[in-house]
Each structure stands twice: as structure tokens, then as C-alpha cells.
Amino acid sequence: MVSVSAAEATAVLLVAEVYESLWQSAPTLGAVLGRVRAYWRRHLFLLFFMHPSLWWTLFLYVAYGFKGALLGMMVVMKASDLALKIWMVQRLEEGRVSPEMAAMLSQPLAPWMPWINVLIYPFLLSLALGS
């Protein structure tokens, strides 16, 4: 069993999510992907390390003995999010972006959109850990 309480685990995840939102925050999805692309170009592992909430969630899932479907789903959601970002950056690098996708990338994001993860993931973690 883990010696980290559910409240402490949720607080760490909250800090990690705020960090991720701060460095990825941008007015458009294209600008967000531009920030992701900057780390991706430096090194792929650097991009992975810029997502500490993924690693913290994965650690908790392993530390709690792979128990809890919600915690497992959170790991899959966070890994899928990172994989989708990498896929989209690769498509941009190769110039294989459809006109519809290019139009979507230039649309402004609502001010709350880069911060939705700060609400959703800590809430899900608190549910998963039963606090």
C-alpha cells in the first residue's frame, strides 16, 4: 500500500496539472501545438517529462496495485492525450494537414479550455482513491 494519502495525491496532481496548463496555454490550438512542437523538436523524452501528471498518475496506478478502473482509465486518458498531441505535431511537421484541420487550429480557444484538466483530473483522482 502507498503511504500517500488521497488528499496528498490529489494535491500533487493538481500542482502537476497547473504546471502543464501554464506551459501549454495559448490562444489557439495551433499555438498549443507549437509549444508542444518546441519540446518535441528538442527531444521526445523532454516532451514526456513536461507531462508530470501522466507519470504521477501512472505511479499511483502501480503503487495501488493496478486496482481501480477509474485510475486505470485516467492513465489511458492521459497517455492518449499525449499520443494525440505527438500525432498532430507529426502531421504538422509533414505538412499533411487537411484544410478543415488547419481552420480548426486557427480558431481561438475559450479562456477556460486550457484549464479544464485542472478541474477534471484531480476530481477523478479523488473519486478513484475514495476521498
Q: How confident is the model at residue 17 (pLDDT cuts 50, 70, 90)?
A: very high
Q: How confident is the model at residue 1 (pLDDT cuts 50, 70, 90)?
A: low
Closest C-alpha among 97, 118, 104, 100 to residue 32: 104
For residue 4, the model assigns a pLDDT of: 83
Q: Residue 27 has what DSSP assignment?
A: S
Q: How confident is the model at residue 32 (pLDDT cuts 50, 70, 90)?
A: very high
Placement of cell 499525449 in the chain: 82
Phi and psi dihedrals of 67, rounded to 5? Answer: -100, 145
Higher pLDDT, 120 or 5: 120
Q: In the predicted model, what is the mean pLDDT of residues 2-7?
A: 82
Number of Cβ within a 10 Å radius of residue 41: 12
For residue 105, the model assigns a pLDDT of: 94
User: What global pTM score does this model have?
Assistant: 0.91
- CA 99 to centroid of chain Cα atoms: 26
Least confident of 64-68, 81-85, 99-103, 108-112: 64-68
For the chain, where are the alpha helices, taking DSSP H only? 6-24, 29-42, 44-49, 52-63, 69-94, 99-106, 116-129
CA distance 124 to 102: 32
Backbone region of residue 39 per phi and psi (left: phi > 0; alpha: psi in -120 to 50; beta: other values): alpha
Angle formed at CA 80 by CA 122 and CA 82, multiple of 5 degrees: 85
Q: In the predicted model, what is the mean pLDDT of residues 91-101?
A: 92
Where do the structural domains in the chain lie, given as residue ranges? 6-129
Q: Count CA within 13 A, CB hemisphere, residue 27.
A: 3
